[in-house]
Amino acid sequence: MPSEPTTPLCKVYNSTHLFINQKVLFQITTFEDSAFIWVGVAENEVLGNLAVAMPPISSRNNNNNIKASATTILTKDLTETSKQFGQKLATKFKKQFFVSFNLPSNADQMMFSFAEKKVISMINEIWIP
Protein backbone atom coordinates (compact mmCIF):
# COMPACT_ATOMS: atom_id res chain seq x y z
CA MET A 1 0.00 0.00 0.00
CA PRO A 2 1.50 3.40 -0.96
CA SER A 3 2.18 5.83 1.83
CA GLU A 4 1.00 9.42 1.99
CA PRO A 5 3.30 12.08 0.48
CA THR A 6 5.52 13.75 3.05
CA THR A 7 7.53 16.92 3.24
CA PRO A 8 11.20 16.33 2.33
CA LEU A 9 13.48 15.86 5.32
CA CYS A 10 16.32 17.75 3.69
CA LYS A 11 16.72 20.51 1.15
CA VAL A 12 19.80 21.38 -0.90
CA TYR A 13 20.71 24.94 -1.88
CA ASN A 14 23.50 25.68 -4.38
CA SER A 15 24.99 29.02 -5.24
CA THR A 16 28.02 30.37 -7.09
CA HIS A 17 29.54 33.79 -6.47
CA LEU A 18 32.54 35.51 -8.00
CA PHE A 19 35.29 36.73 -5.68
CA ILE A 20 37.61 38.91 -7.77
CA ASN A 21 38.25 36.39 -10.60
CA GLN A 22 37.63 33.15 -8.67
CA LYS A 23 34.30 31.27 -8.71
CA VAL A 24 33.38 30.28 -5.16
CA LEU A 25 30.83 27.47 -4.88
CA PHE A 26 28.41 27.10 -1.98
CA GLN A 27 26.20 24.17 -1.08
CA ILE A 28 23.97 24.11 1.97
CA THR A 29 21.97 21.03 2.85
CA THR A 30 19.42 21.70 5.57
CA PHE A 31 17.68 19.27 7.88
CA GLU A 32 15.19 20.06 10.63
CA ASP A 33 17.70 21.26 13.23
CA SER A 34 21.03 21.04 11.43
CA ALA A 35 22.83 21.90 8.23
CA PHE A 36 25.77 20.70 6.16
CA ILE A 37 27.74 23.51 4.54
CA TRP A 38 30.33 23.01 1.83
CA VAL A 39 32.35 25.90 0.37
CA GLY A 40 34.94 25.42 -2.35
CA VAL A 41 36.20 26.74 -5.66
CA ALA A 42 35.50 25.75 -9.24
CA GLU A 43 37.91 23.19 -10.71
CA ASN A 44 38.73 21.88 -7.20
CA GLU A 45 35.55 20.41 -5.74
CA VAL A 46 36.87 18.36 -2.83
CA LEU A 47 35.75 17.53 0.69
CA GLY A 48 38.91 18.29 2.60
CA ASN A 49 38.30 20.07 5.87
CA LEU A 50 35.22 18.95 7.76
CA ALA A 51 34.13 19.96 11.24
CA VAL A 52 31.01 19.61 13.34
CA ALA A 53 29.71 22.17 15.85
CA MET A 54 26.93 21.86 18.42
CA PRO A 55 25.29 24.78 20.19
CA PRO A 56 25.70 24.76 23.96
CA ILE A 57 22.64 23.49 25.84
CA SER A 58 22.62 26.66 27.94
CA SER A 59 22.35 28.74 24.74
CA ARG A 60 18.74 27.56 24.53
CA ASN A 61 18.22 29.51 27.76
CA ASN A 62 19.44 32.73 26.06
CA ASN A 63 22.91 32.69 27.59
CA ASN A 64 24.99 33.88 24.62
CA ASN A 65 28.30 34.02 26.53
CA ILE A 66 29.00 30.31 26.01
CA LYS A 67 30.57 29.18 22.71
CA ALA A 68 29.42 26.18 20.77
CA SER A 69 31.42 22.96 21.01
CA ALA A 70 33.22 21.94 17.83
CA THR A 71 35.69 19.39 16.59
CA THR A 72 37.46 18.62 13.34
CA ILE A 73 36.37 15.36 11.71
CA LEU A 74 38.46 15.38 8.53
CA THR A 75 41.39 17.60 7.62
CA LYS A 76 43.98 17.98 4.92
CA ASP A 77 45.99 20.70 6.67
CA LEU A 78 46.34 22.37 10.05
CA THR A 79 43.87 25.22 9.56
CA GLU A 80 40.80 25.32 11.77
CA THR A 81 38.67 27.49 9.51
CA SER A 82 35.83 24.97 9.25
CA LYS A 83 35.81 24.38 13.01
CA GLN A 84 35.88 28.07 13.91
CA PHE A 85 33.17 28.98 11.41
CA GLY A 86 31.02 26.05 12.58
CA GLN A 87 31.30 27.34 16.16
CA LYS A 88 30.23 30.79 15.03
CA LEU A 89 27.21 29.41 13.15
CA ALA A 90 26.11 27.04 15.94
CA THR A 91 26.32 29.84 18.50
CA LYS A 92 24.41 32.29 16.30
CA PHE A 93 21.68 29.99 14.93
CA LYS A 94 21.41 27.52 17.86
CA LYS A 95 21.61 24.51 15.53
CA GLN A 96 24.13 21.78 14.68
CA PHE A 97 26.42 22.51 11.73
CA PHE A 98 28.74 20.36 9.66
CA VAL A 99 31.10 22.72 7.86
CA SER A 100 33.60 22.01 5.10
CA PHE A 101 35.60 25.05 3.97
CA ASN A 102 37.80 24.10 1.00
CA LEU A 103 39.22 27.36 -0.30
CA PRO A 104 42.62 27.41 -2.03
CA SER A 105 45.75 27.36 0.11
CA ASN A 106 46.61 30.84 -1.18
CA ALA A 107 43.23 32.29 -0.09
CA ASP A 108 43.55 35.41 1.99
CA GLN A 109 41.41 36.65 4.89
CA MET A 110 39.27 38.71 2.49
CA MET A 111 38.23 35.57 0.60
CA PHE A 112 37.33 33.78 3.85
CA SER A 113 35.33 36.80 5.04
CA PHE A 114 33.55 36.94 1.68
CA ALA A 115 32.63 33.25 1.93
CA GLU A 116 31.46 33.55 5.54
CA LYS A 117 29.20 36.52 4.72
CA LYS A 118 27.68 34.66 1.75
CA VAL A 119 26.97 31.58 3.88
CA ILE A 120 25.36 33.63 6.65
CA SER A 121 23.28 35.48 4.06
CA MET A 122 22.11 32.19 2.54
CA ILE A 123 21.23 30.73 5.95
CA ASN A 124 19.27 33.85 6.86
CA GLU A 125 17.25 33.46 3.64
CA ILE A 126 16.68 29.74 4.32
CA TRP A 127 15.78 29.71 8.02
CA ILE A 128 14.61 33.23 8.76
CA PRO A 129 11.50 34.25 6.80
Distance CA 46, CA 123 (A): 22
- pTM for the whole thing? 0.83
Q: What is the CA radius of gyration of the chain?
A: 16
Task: Report if residue 68 sits inside a domain.
Answer: yes
Cα 84 to chain center, whole Å? 11
Question: Is residue 95 helix, strand or coil?
Answer: coil
Counted domains in the chain: 1
Give the Å distances, CA to CA, from 72 to 3, 13, 39, 51, 52.
Answer: 39, 24, 16, 4, 7
- pLDDT by residue (tens digit) across 88-108? 999 988 899 999 988 887 888
- pLDDT by residue (tens digit) across 36-62? 999 999 887 778 889 999 988 764 555
Task: Report if residue 24 sits inside a domain.
Answer: yes
Task: Report if residue 44 sits inside a domain.
Answer: yes
Task: Report if residue 117 sits inside a domain.
Answer: no
Task: Report if residue 127 sits inside a domain.
Answer: no
Task: Report if residue 125 sits inside a domain.
Answer: no
